[in-house]
Amino acid sequence: MSDLPAIFFQQYFEVGPPMVILQAKAPEFKILAANPAFLKITGTAITHMEGKSLWDAFPANPEESGTSNRDIIEDSLLMTIKTKTAQVLRGVRHDIPLTGTDKFDKRYWQFASSPVMDGAGEVTSLIYNVSDITEAFFNANRQEIELALNEQNNDQLQRQFMRAPIGMVFINRDGYSIDYINQAMRRLWNRGLTENLIGQSVFEVIPELEQQGYHAIFDEVLATGRAFKVQETPLQYKRTDRVKTFYLDLSIEPLYDTFDHIYGAVGFAVDVTDKVLSRGRLQAIIDEKKLVEDELRHNEERLVQILETMAEGVGIIDANGKLTYANPMAQKILGLHESEILGNNFGERKWKNFRTDGSPLPDEEHPMAIMMKTGQPVYDHEIAVQPPDRERFYISINAAPIRDNKNKIVAGIATFMDVTARRKIVEQKDEFISVASHELKTPLTSLKLSMQLLSKLFDTNPTSPQVAVFIAKANNNLSRLVHLTEDLMNISKIDNGKLPLKKARFNLFKLAHDCCEYLTGDDAHAVVIEGEPGLQVYADEQRIDQVIVNFVNNAVKYAPESKKIILKVQQLADCAMLSVQDFGIGIPAEKVPHLFERYYRVNETGIQFSGLGLGLYISAEIIERHGGQIGVNSDPGNGSTFWFTLPIS
């Protein structure tokens, strides 16, 4: 090759068959040049291989063990350098990587390596001619193999056939006997090199083939001449100590003699069990991952639904204290839209935070700040919140840290609820206990004093007129005690749902008249009863009497300057209405909605009146249990009208 003029070789190199020039230096065999035909047949670019090792440019297929035949190719190249003569390899498999992917194209090649020597006769490079014989390899028949075996390279081709990585077996139609079988097929069948299989029926060597229908498949190939090809087909047979399932790429093709008669078939087999099982395991992992992801997504959606529908406000902050989530209830409690909340700090100055005693709450004392600093949950921590355009309200906060897999706090979550009403009830209950103690103590003290004075009078002057006075005072105080006790008992019954109603038909006008008889002797008030004298209702007369007396007592108590009280009984459609009107100072509009709440006591103009603040609450419960309505119309400075309705039937 060194005597060939360079210009002629260059022209031949550019237009000739596929070839590549290699540096004659093992083990790299770096690529020095590659002609267009080589680039085309391998689907590569010179920039991807020039200067690279032959093995780096054309790596082995990792999914197909034993398909690179690097040792065979390397031995051939070393033999060329050593003998300084051309070497030929036929039927060698070496898969080609597909550009831009991690996949490989299955290829079979014929390689011819020729030495290029310098002036001193030393081999400096190698001209490597390649021919793609993949199609011919798979279409090979017995006649072609026999002819090839009779050529000059008979021994080498026989060696390559025996060492080919793909399993091959030639089967004669006469008794399905084995004519040739290579090492790869013996390994697939777990038959040693010394075991004589030639002449035996393939169905005797591997009886499972007949059980799985391959006898009929062979017959069809022999009868029709149509090849049978399948990929990754499951085949059950006993390779070691027990029957197992293997996955094979199989091809069974007819063999023709010189007269074009089918005399047998050649079978090709590649064990792809590891690939199939690996892909199955990979698919199982993918499926499991998808199930986990679906479950996580489902749990996330379910969590969002729970958060979105919770009766408590929920807020989430990041590690910097900025709010990243606020559920609808949080927005409702704070009176702010989500866009006004997200991105702000929990100590945002748009709304002011206070301690429960009314003093300003420093940011570092906020439950979220305490939780983020200590890393410990905070429970039922109450603070007051003052929005810019609303009344101050109170919230109870529970806060907990959110940690990553390294136990580092990355966020915080808080749930909170409006406890303004709860605090109000507690305050009212505390006030009620104080009032109840006072209200019970006053008549008891007076009663005790009256009894002591009576005792002295009986000892000194039993006929004194003062005896009757003290007895009257004692009875009055006893009545007050009875009234207070009844209110407390009624509250207990209401709480337990045991406030009984004994309904009967009675005259509502007459009941109103009877209730007011005790005021007829009171010169300070003139009671006027108006309406329909014959109006009948179906209700608990004793309970309705209790409501009317409460209305009238309130009119006398809270309107002391009002000389006139009007009771009106009238029919409205299918219900009866009773109202009690006074002409006192009236009730401020902001207090009207609270009048029928438990423990609520109106205290206007600084005047204190006795009572537990339960009368109107009990009255409202009685009327509502009758299916009626209760209310008040008040005009500050001009008086109030308390009313209720009852179904007629």
Mark whether 524 and 631 lie in a shared domain: yes
User: What CATH number is associated with residue 149?
Assistant: 3.30.450.20
28-32, 463-467, 586-590 — most confident range: 28-32
Residue 586 lies in a domain: yes
State the pairing for strand pair 526-531/564-572: parallel
State the pairing for strand pair 526-531/96-97: unpaired
Mark whether 38 and 152 lie in a shared domain: no
Neighbours of 501 (CB within 10 A): 12
> Which residues 6+ apart lie within 8 Å of 396 measured at CB?
380, 381, 382, 416, 417, 419
Percent of the chain with pLDDT over 90: 30
- Whether 457 shows a pLDDT value over 80: the answer reads no
What pLDDT does 336 receive? 82
Residue 279 lies in a domain: no
Tell me which residue range forms the domain holding 602: 504-647
- Quickly state the pLDDT bin for 633 (edges 50, 70, 90): very high
Residue 79 lies in a domain: yes
Residue 488 lies in a domain: yes
Residue 283 lies in a domain: no
Burial class (CB in 10 A: 0-12, 13-18, 19+), 297: exposed
- Whole-angstrom distance, CA of residue 398 vs CA of residue 401: 11
Q: Is 636 helix (H, G, I), strand (E, B) or coil?
A: coil
- Whole-angstrom distance, CA of residue 462 vs CA of residue 468: 10
Question: Lowest-pLDDT range, 194-198, 273-277, 488-492?
Answer: 488-492
Mark whether 98 and 119 lie in a shared domain: yes
- Quickly state the pLDDT bin for 579 (edges 50, 70, 90): very high
- Quickly state the pLDDT bin for 449 (edges 50, 70, 90): low
Instruction: Single out the residue in 84, 110, 136 at which a domain terminates.
Output: 136
Mark whether 60 and 161 lie in a shared domain: no
Mark whether 512 and 643 lie in a shared domain: yes
Answer with the residue of higher pLDDT: 256 or 602.
256
- Quickly state the pLDDT bin for 32 (edges 50, 70, 90): very high
User: What's the total number of domains in the chain?
Assistant: 5
Question: Lowest-pLDDT range, 61-65, 197-201, 633-637?
Answer: 61-65
Instruction: Single out the residue in 414, 440, 475 at which a domain terminates.
Output: 414
* pLDDT single digits (tens) 366-385: 999 999 999 999 999 999 99
Instruction: Single out the residue in 92, 115, 136 at which a domain terminates.
Output: 136
- Whether 152 shows a pLDDT value over 60: the answer reads no
> Which residues 6+ apart lie within 8 Å of 578 measured at CB?
508, 512, 548, 567, 568, 569, 643, 644, 646
User: What CATH number is associated with residue 546?
Assistant: 3.30.565.10
- Whole-angstrom distance, CA of residue 243 vs CA of residue 262: 33
Mark whether 395 and 345 lie in a shared domain: yes
Residue 287 lies in a domain: no
* pLDDT single digits (tens) 103-141: 888 888 888 888 888 888 899 999 999 988 887 776 654
What pLDDT does 524 receive? 64
What pLDDT does 608 receive? 42
What pLDDT does 543 receive? 84
Mark whether 61 and 130 lie in a shared domain: yes
Mark whether 450 and 557 lie in a shared domain: no
Per-chain mean pLDDT for the chain? 82
- Whole-angstrom distance, CA of residue 164 vs CA of residue 158: 10
Cβ atoms of 515 and 548 closer than 8 Å: yes
Tokens linked to 297: 């997504």
Residue 282 lies in a domain: no
- Say how many CA atoms lie within 13 Å of 581 toward its Cβ: 13
User: What CATH number is associated with residue 481?
Assistant: 1.10.287.130
pTM for the full predicted model: 0.40
Percent of the chain with pLDDT over 70: 81
Residue 409 lies in a domain: yes
Is the bond leading into 328 cis (omega within 30 degrees of zero)? no
Mark whether 147 and 200 lie in a shared domain: yes
Mark whether 317 and 435 lie in a shared domain: no
Mark whether 392 and 510 lie in a shared domain: no
Mark whether 151 and 237 lie in a shared domain: yes
| Over residues 318-338, mean pLDDT | 88
Cβ atoms of 467 and 454 closer than 8 Å: yes
User: Number of helices (H) and strands (E), helices first, in the chain?
Assistant: 20, 25
| Over residues 485-497, mean pLDDT | 66
What pLDDT does 443 receive? 60
- Whether 149 shows a pLDDT value over 50: the answer reads no
